[in-house]
Every structure is written in C-alpha cells, then in structure tokens.
Structure 1
Amino acid sequence: MTLPLASVSAPELRQILHSAGEFALLDVREQEEFSREHVLLASCAPLSRLELLAGRLVPCRETPVLVMDDGPDDRLGRAERAARALLSLGYTSVRVAEGGLAAWKADGGVTVNGVGALSKGFGEYVECVQETPRMTPEEVRALMDDPATRSIIIDVRPHNEYRRMNIPGSVNLPGCEVTYRLAEVVTDPDIAIVINCAGRTRSIIGTQTLLNAGVPNRVAALKGGTMNWQLAGFALEYGADRPVPASTPEGRRAARERVSRVAAAYRVRFADAAQVARWREESAHRTLYLFDVRLPEEYAAGHLPGARSAQGGQLVQATDEYAAVRNGRYVLVDDDELRAIMTAHWLVQMGLPQVFVLRGGLEAAAPVLAPHGLERGPEPAPDARGAEAGLAPAEVARLRAETPEPLLLNVGASDQHRR
C-alpha cells in the first residue's frame, strides 16, 4: 500500500521561503526546463540524478525538503516520485508543492530564468548599489594600446574556463585569489586593473572585491566579459597554459592587511575548530556545510574530512549548485583565513545568516578536525561509479560490430552528449 505524501500549498510555500528556519526547495525538472523558469530560491535537482545530488545539496536528512515540478501538466509526476525517492534515502520531512510551478504562478509568485539566478541577481544589485566601475571592450582596448598607461587584465574564472578562452595577455586569478595573489601581478598603484569573466557577474564581484579591500589602483569590470569582447571584434586566445601565479610571503602579508579591514567592515564571523567539531556532532539534526575555498589542486593536496571543494568565486557565483539549504551553517576553510574571509563577506551580503570562517585555517584546525590526517585527492564527481558492474570499452566495441547493433543511451547532460 502506497502511503499519501505530505504537501504544501503555494501560500504556505511563500511563508516558508521568507522564514528563518532551515529548508530546501528542490526543483526536480531537468536543468533546461529549470533554466527557462523557476522559483528564485530553488535548487535544480533533476529526478534523473536526484539520488546522486541529494546528499551534497541537502546533507542533513532532517532538513525540511520541498519538491516541485511543473504541476498538473507534469505527466511524469516527477515531484511525487522525487518525494518518495527522498523518503527512501532517509529524509524525514519531505513535502510536495501542490500544483507545482503552475500553482505558484497562479498565486502571484514570481519566477526567474537562467542558472545561478540568485547569484547573478546579486551581482546586478552590487553593481547598481555600490556603483561598480565598468568599461566597454572598446575602452579596454584603448587602455591597453595607450603607451602612457600601464594596465593589466585579470581573468577571475576557474583555470579550466580561462584555458578554454581568454583575452590575450590576461592573467588568471580565480575568484578570491584576486585579492590573495594580487601583489604577485600588480606591483604599482599606478597600474590600471581590468577584471573580466565570461559574462558579467564574476567581473562585477571581482572588481568590487578589490575595491572593498581598499586597493589603491584604478579598477573596472569589463562589461559583458569575454563574450562581449569577441562580439566587439577583438581576438581571443585559446588553450593558454599560463598557471595561476604562485603566492609569496610578501604577497600574503599585503593581502592580510587589506583582508583584515574587510573582515572588520563586514563583520565576518569566525568559528574555532572545537566549535566546528561540535557542529559536526549536531550535523545529523542541523545542516553543516564545510567548504574549502582554495584552488582545486590545493584541496587535492590535503583537505579536512568531509570538506567539499568550492573555490571562493564559484561558491559566490553558483551558491544554489553547492548548497540547497537556506539558513544552514556554512564554514569556510583555507590555509590562513584570507580567502575564506573574502568569500564570507560576499555570502553575508547575499543574506546567508550563518556564515563562518574557520579560525586559524587548515593547519591550526587539523589536530581537532582531522586527527587521523588530512584526506587527499580531488573531490569525486557525484555520479562517480566503479566499472565493476559495467562493460569494458572493448566489449562495447564488439557488441557494436554485431547485427543488430545495440541501442546506446547516453543518460548524461545533453551538452556533454553533443560534444
């Protein structure tokens, strides 16, 4: 006998979204559907991958979880199926949004489009309220060509994105590395700094990060990023192998002076290892996210058990992809607090009420939080599986040579399938 599922009406859902308690709203449609229209505070957790994503997005099984699909027109009944799947995984408080997205809109609820909408909307807010300087591609090109002006272009995207395409001659300082390693690439306050990403949000946040840190240089964001640069008719570089510049003791000292002012100005909070250990003990009843905001290669060299790799800029850029639970605890970890502070000061401004920096950094906390040693290696993909239950490539090739040829189904993301 199938037991009925608990539900939540659109008006009740609105109250929950404005509440101070923990909750997670999971939109269980596919990402393409999600990107066309969704509720702002929802995280995309497609039914097709729900079991793989749920533990990362909602680590505490007691967190109230709300699931949503299209509503009456969703012939697959994905919300109900997702709710039962979550219950089978041990989640104890799961409710289906009555009428789905259709009921939300009928009740006057607002929807947004795109991915990372919350973070992107926050970036637009920052640019408007803090009047973040920006320059058009033509203005940046003129600046670069002016022999009387020294300038540098800093690309704040992750290194894999930078390597894919970048503005020729630019330097890669991903996310919060732009403050942490700035002294390694900008040695004079008279050098003009242009910050770019692929589009807008990370350029805005990177620029304002330097301004918040009190950098004396002229700093501006490239309007529209590399996409706008190319549309303006300027060349891009592909496959650049320039690494992220190594940090130095002198550079870290300069960064510490600036970052300490940011910590005070934005009232960044800290938690020592003993406090985080207590929160770990409570994590079966209250959400705890432990995010390592260093570069992925630093994370792979050694990280705290249970910590997820979320280099600072990406955690701000795509918060909903890392953490679905609102009002949970976020603890940010790095070597010496500096990058964690810069990440935290943005998450605080985004309205997340429980954001903390691990006091003293990784080395100071390791004896308490990693008594058996740090874990090593990259963070495994959520759908990583061994090959023991599958077919080897040679076996697949042999089967494809037979008649009739087998039907091969790729259940991965559509863009990856096309590539």
Structure 2
Amino acid sequence: MDADTFREWLADGAELAVIDIRPSEEVGYASPLFATNLPADRIEVEIDRYVPRAAVRTVLVDGGDGVAQFVATRLAAAGRTDVHVLAGGIPEWTRNGTDDLPTFDVPGKDFSLGIRDERGTPVVTAAELKSLKDQSADVVVIDTRTVPEFTAGHVPGAVSVPGAELLLRFADVVPSPDTHVVVSCAGLPRAIIGAQTLIDSGVPNKVSYLHDGTRAWKEENLELETGATAVYGPVGDAALEVAAQRVEAIAADDEFPRIDVETAQAWAADPDRTTYLLDVRTPEEFEQAHLPGSITSEGGQLLGVSYRTIAVRGARVVLIDDLTGARAAVVAHWLQRRGFDIAVLLHDFDAAA
C-alpha cells in the first residue's frame, strides 16, 4: 500500500494495527509512527499478544529492505488475511522529514506538554532541586519510572514509585503534608503526568516535576545514584484509606463502564471487536494471581508509551486492578483523554486466591 492510502487509514477511525518490524535497537525509543515495535524475528510468535484478533487490518513497516513482504506472506499463511505492507517502509514514510507526519497515537511527550500547558503544572530545575537538597529542605523526589529504570540511575535519595502506584502508596512514602514533592523520570512525560496526578487527586503537599529529569541532573554535572536504594514497600492500612479518598477525587469527573469478569471474557471473545485485558498492577502481583486471558501491563508505562502494548488503534481497553482501583483510576484518567475506549474491572484477587 502507498503512503497516501496509509494516511487515510490512520484517520478513518476503524481498527488498525501498525507494526514496526525493524530490530528494536534500530527503532530506539519510538517509531516515527509511534507504532508497536515487534521485530520480524519475533512477530510470528508474539503477534497474538499485541493484535489479539486475526482479522484486524494490520500494516507492517520495515526499513525499506523488503522484509515486510516476507513476513506478511508468513502471517497470511497462519490465518491473518488482512495484512498489508507500507511501500518503501520507514525511509519512504520519512522522506520529507517527520515534523508533520500523522502518527498512530498521541506521543506521550506531546500529550504531557499539553497537560502541563493547560494545567500550569509547577516545575523545578535540576539546579533548584540541588539547592533545596543542599539546604536540607523538606523535599522528597519520587521517581515514576519502572524499578529497573530507577535502579540503573536516579537522583540521589529518590524513592521509586512507578506512575500508576502514586495514589496507592503516596501516604506511606510522603507522610507529612509539609514535604515538597518533586516528581522525576528520565525526561518529561512521566514526571509531568505524575505530578499532575498528585495535584488532581488533591494531595495537600506542594508538588512539582523535575524538568528533564535525570537527563537534566546529568547535564548539571551531577552524579546519579544507582541500585534499588529506595523502592516502594507494602501498602499500609492508613495509606489505603487515604488512597481511597484520592481515587474519589481524581475520578470525580471521570465516567468509565465498570464491568465484571464475565463481561470482560465475552468482550475478549467478540470476533468483531478487539479488546485488551490489561492488568495494571505490579508485575509481582500479576505473577501471584491474575485473570485468564489478561496480560501484565504496568500502569505507569501505559501512561507514557501506550503504543508499546496497545497495537490496535480503536480497540477497547479493559484496565484490571484490585478492589482499591487506585492504579486503574490513574491510568483511565489520562488514557481516555488520548482517545482510548476505556472500561474498568476491579477484582478481589485475595478472595480468588
């Protein structure tokens, strides 16, 4: 298919999966299409996770080397009969630059900057944060990336609390309302969304995001701390009570269908509509117990890089959480503003176990 037809497909609102089949190291952080990266050597084994329905329109994009045509033939033989190849691949798509290209999703950075500009999210620079720490100010840095990212390098003294866990664990990590909370990530998106999540939920603390996160810290010639030095722990009873209040506040203007397990299973089996069953709890909780057919998808990652999991634009997305609903509330609050069709499923995993 040519680029003009592809542009029309990106805008028509019907279900569409776009898979960038280049090697992950070549794609880097994000495809120019903000498509799901599923390398050619893995796609036959893993495509069912990312494109659950075989009948979905699917476009494969390669590096202009013709690999996509070979992959499309293999997928067609396996029963995926609506697979197409973008002529010329990424080189042809980006031939005139990338500034005005339509994308498969709203890039996380663009979305977070829009939220920042709309809400006026407070900010501190790395130099300002260093000054606060030097003055022994009552300040705590919360790093909203995944634990492995945190472990690789973070602002000294920071606490690891992935983005979707913020409301659930905030009272344990920040017991005093007088503490200045600075939310950090590697750059901007997860820090801005994390800070605004806390503000929207009504925490009494002063909340800011760290401009450009750990990147800015290094650019100030400051050393990062490594290792799992301070990671969130079990949620205390008092923190659960506070989290319930915060969830009620952030979800006050949100309306999402609340469904049960039977409905979720029926949706997942629908031959005419794609449904993702995404468990937004921690990977450790998922490993202990989860619903059949669901996949683990840390909520904080969904907020920043949804395209890495949700390959089918126009699909239904069911967010699965425990009965507190704190993670699902945060993720739903932001994803629906990016155009996703969201439903929430709260399940008593303890009782099930």
The CA distance in 1 between the partners of 2:294 and 2:29, in whole Å, is 32
* Deviations, residues 327-360 of structure 1 (Å, cap 9, x unaligned): 11111111122211111111111221x11110x3
2:169 to 171, 174, 181: 181
TM-score by length of 2: 0.90
The answer to whether the 8 Å contact 2:158/2:230 transfers is no
Q: Could you tell me how far 1:108 is from its partner in structure 2?
A: 9.0
Match of 1:123 in 2: 112
The CA distance in 1 between the partners of 2:30 and 2:125, in whole Å, is 30
The answer to whether the 8 Å contact 1:25/1:68 transfers is yes
The CA distance in 2 between the partners of 1:215 and 1:176, in whole Å, is 15
Q: How does 1:367-386 map to 2 (within 5 A)?
A: none
SS, match of residue 277 in structure 1 = helix
SS, match of residue 252 in structure 2 = helix
1:138 to 95, 108, 127: 127
The answer to whether the 8 Å contact 1:189/1:217 transfers is yes
Matched, 1:9 2:2: yes
Matched, 1:157 2:150: no
Match of 1:91 in 2: 80
Match of 2:69 in 1: 80
Q: Could you tell me how far 1:197 is from its partner in structure 2?
A: 1.2
Residue identity in the other structure for 2:301: Q
Alpha-carbon spacing, 1:38–1:173, altered in 2? closer, same or farther (3 Å): closer
- Give the aligned length: 350
Match of 2:261 in 1: 273
Match of 2:347 in 1: 361
1:261 to 249, 255, 259: 249
The CA distance in 2 between the partners of 1:123 and 1:363, in whole Å, is 32
The CA distance in 2 between the partners of 1:36 and 1:268, in whole Å, is 31
The answer to whether the 8 Å contact 2:10/2:102 transfers is no
SS, match of residue 181 in structure 1 = helix
The answer to whether the 8 Å contact 2:55/2:80 transfers is yes
SS, match of residue 41 in structure 2 = helix
Match of 1:199 in 2: 187
The CA distance in 1 between the partners of 2:189 and 2:30, in whole Å, is 20
The answer to whether the 8 Å contact 2:268/2:276 transfers is no
In structure 1, list runs of 5 or more residues that go unmatched.
1-7, 367-372, 375-419
Match of 1:411 in 2: none
Q: Could you tell me how far 1:280 is from its partner in structure 2?
A: 2.5
Match of 2:316 in 1: 329
* Deviations, residues 124-168 of structure 1 (Å, cap 9, x unaligned): 222233222211111111222334x41111111111222222222
The CA distance in 2 between the partners of 1:43 and 1:59, in whole Å, is 14
2:285 to 278, 298, 306: 298
Match of 1:18 in 2: 11
Alpha-carbon spacing, 1:146–1:36, altered in 2? closer, same or farther (3 Å): closer
Match of 2:56 in 1: 63
* Deviations, residues 235-254 of structure 1 (Å, cap 9, x unaligned): 32222343312212221111
Residue identity in the other structure for 1:21: A
Match of 2:42 in 1: 49
* Deviations, residues 227-274 of structure 1 (Å, cap 9, x unaligned): 211221223222234331221222111111121222232333322223
* Deviations, residues 287-342 of structure 1 (Å, cap 9, x unaligned): 11111111111111111112111111011222111121001111111112221111
Larger RCO (CA under 8 A, 6+ residues apart): 2
The CA distance in 1 between the partners of 2:285 and 2:339, in whole Å, is 28
Q: How does 1:98-117 map to 2 (within 5 A)?
A: 98-105=87-94, 110-111=100-101
RMSD, aligned α-carbons: 2.5
TM-score by length of 1: 0.77
Higher mean Cα deviation, 187-196 or 103-112? 103-112
The CA distance in 1 between the partners of 2:252 and 2:29, in whole Å, is 40
Alpha-carbon spacing, 1:266–1:40, altered in 2? closer, same or farther (3 Å): farther
The answer to whether the 8 Å contact 1:56/1:323 transfers is no
* Deviations, residues 82-115 of structure 1 (Å, cap 9, x unaligned): 21122123212112223434554569984499xx
SS, match of residue 46 in structure 1 = coil
Matched, 1:342 2:335: no
Matched, 1:315 2:302: yes
The answer to whether the 8 Å contact 1:40/1:118 transfers is no
The CA distance in 1 between the partners of 2:29 and 2:171, in whole Å, is 41
Residue identity in the other structure for 1:133: P
The CA distance in 1 between the partners of 2:7 and 2:239, in whole Å, is 47
The answer to whether the 8 Å contact 1:292/1:307 transfers is yes
The CA distance in 1 between the partners of 2:275 and 2:90, in whole Å, is 29
The CA distance in 2 between the partners of 1:112 and 1:52, in whole Å, is 29
SS, match of residue 55 in structure 2 = coil
The answer to whether the 8 Å contact 1:195/1:221 transfers is yes
Match of 1:410 in 2: none
Match of 1:251 in 2: 239
The CA distance in 1 between the partners of 2:154 and 2:31, in whole Å, is 31
The CA distance in 1 between the partners of 2:260 and 2:209, in whole Å, is 36
